[in-house]
Structure 1
């Protein structure tokens, strides 16, 4: 899959212009569904409106929603969005600040909050809240104030934010040189065989679904990625694991655990929102569905974060408790496991 994305402006509007070339292995697929797989946070309605407006072209010809995209087709789409300068509007959003000094801020991000504005998420992001609470945050190379790393929208947990240019450069170097310490807790499907282990495999954008990352074990595509893990608690059909990142690739934990056959519990994007392990009993299915309702996202929490303070050089370490939705889900699995053992 080849993908080019550019931004073009008209007199008073800015557009996002996407271009996708379907891979050789692309099976015929409706163009609206094809675009849903490739444009993050774009709604079906927005795509269909673009189609009606003649803004979706396949091989340079406008098409209808039921047009089938085939191998090597070139698909172009233009979607309107607010001007770039309006993406960085300060908003009075309450933030859970774990630590703050003149150089850095450590934030505990709730699940459901997007880290920075982008297509489909122009407000309510962590960055919108940060620029309200803190003036003159430095911008990184992508014009995102204060950010030196990020976590997914539906992942909860700790982030460090730079308040000065020096802190940003210093922290960026620490992340690049892998001298930070980050531990995640994840609930994954299945009984992980080893008590601890390491997952190694290049991670790159999927050729079939651009919203997913795939593992390329031969190293012929993607970027080198290493995840260390150890089992914290077992619940027969799911396992709570602690993950230590040696690298920080997009969706690294989610992609790596899917690759070894243990997708994250209720991870819709990577297939974990289906009942993958367990029994066929109706009561069990109802139990899992209730767990999904309690935890309506992937079971992933950025629990700890350690780094060297840019100025004092003191090693700082922060720990955040697991959020209530994960706690409730784990309690359900704990009770279910005990109940099953008592029946034996």
Structure 2
């Protein structure tokens, strides 16, 4: 018999989903059969799998060691060994902006993927998991039933605030707030040309997956065209450039980059969307600068060095 105690990272999910992660190699029919026969019980009572787990709930599995081993291949051990990077807590690859029991917010550097694009990629998601393991917040064995994950995404070459749920509660709550637009997202970017007035622009976005690029339309031409809405305010004007604060009202792929390019003010360094190639810039100067949370709290990500250096150069 094995006894497991539900922790913060497992709480909130359905019992059957938890069991399917724990016994990842077992067919669903086996799990439900074990529940019916009371070979798997929750808090010493028969369960049907629809129960919502709570912290300190106890799960008992009356299975032979051979059966448990057969159906519960330790995917966490393999995952940690093969996919997570080693991390030095004194020299993290990102800056921590905010952390509580459920949520982590970091300042993602330009050049770091938010999530894997290929199986062998190391993204912010893997760095965050490595940090949580190294700091003792997450135990390796718990990764079999819940893995902390990011809630929003930034393009590889966009820096700034990236949100992760450390617990299921944190992941679900932050994902809901983002989906319902209860979190306001503000970006800073340096664009080509002079913009002197604030503007609220709307349009429709069409994605070209083959080119990994999007097109902005005034009116929808296809059922897959997505409505987009962007608001911006000029903060500083330079000779041939402008520092903008952009309020991302809808959050679509490449929305800010494509929308600004469509009004002839591409983000500096963003050659994919028509900006001039500049040897001194390695990526587009677009930074997820500020979040306004539902409770009124602000999270601010300091500018990266390349962004600050360009402002200094433009000021002369």
TM-score bucket of the superposed structures, by smaller chain: 0.5 to 0.7
User: Aligned residue for 2:291?
Assistant: 305
| Cα distance change on mapping 1:252 and 1:245 into 2, 3 Å | same
Structure 2: gaps of 5 or more residues = 1-77, 133-137
Structure 1: gaps of 5 or more residues = 1-83, 275-288, 309-313, 336-344
User: Aligned residue for 1:184?
Assistant: 187
Q: Tell me the TM-score normalised to structure 2 length.
A: 0.65
Q: Aligned-pair distance for 1:145? A: 4.1
Q: Tell me the TM-score normalised to structure 1 length.
A: 0.60
Aligned-partner SS, 2:226: coil
User: Aligned residue for 2:197?
Assistant: 195
| Cα distance change on mapping 1:105 and 1:197 into 2, 3 Å | same
Matched, 1:253 2:256: yes
User: Aligned residue for 1:154?
Assistant: 157
Larger radius of gyration: 2
Matched, 1:91 2:91: no
Deviation string for 1:60-101 (max 9, x for gaps)? xxxxxxxxxxxxxxxxxxxxxxxx969982213423111111
Runs of 4+ in 1 over 4 A off after TM superposition: 84-88, 136-139
Q: Aligned-pair distance for 1:110? A: 0.7
User: Aligned residue for 1:40?
Assistant: none
| The one of 201, 205, 208 aligned to 2:207 | 205
Deviation string for 1:114-167 (max 9, x for gaps)? 111113x7333111111112237999xxx9841211111111111111111122
Deviation string for 1:182-218 (max 9, x for gaps)? 11111111112x41001211112138x6311111211
User: Aligned residue for 2:271?
Assistant: 268
Query: Which one has more relative contact order, counting CA pairs under 8 Å at least 6 apart?
Result: 2
| Cα distance change on mapping 1:319 and 1:246 into 2, 3 Å | same
Q: Could you say what the CA RMSD is over the residues aligned between the two structures, in angstroms?
A: 2.6
| Cα distance change on mapping 1:88 and 1:144 into 2, 3 Å | farther
| Cα distance change on mapping 1:189 and 1:88 into 2, 3 Å | farther
User: Aligned residue for 1:330?
Assistant: 311
User: Aligned residue for 2:125?
Assistant: 127
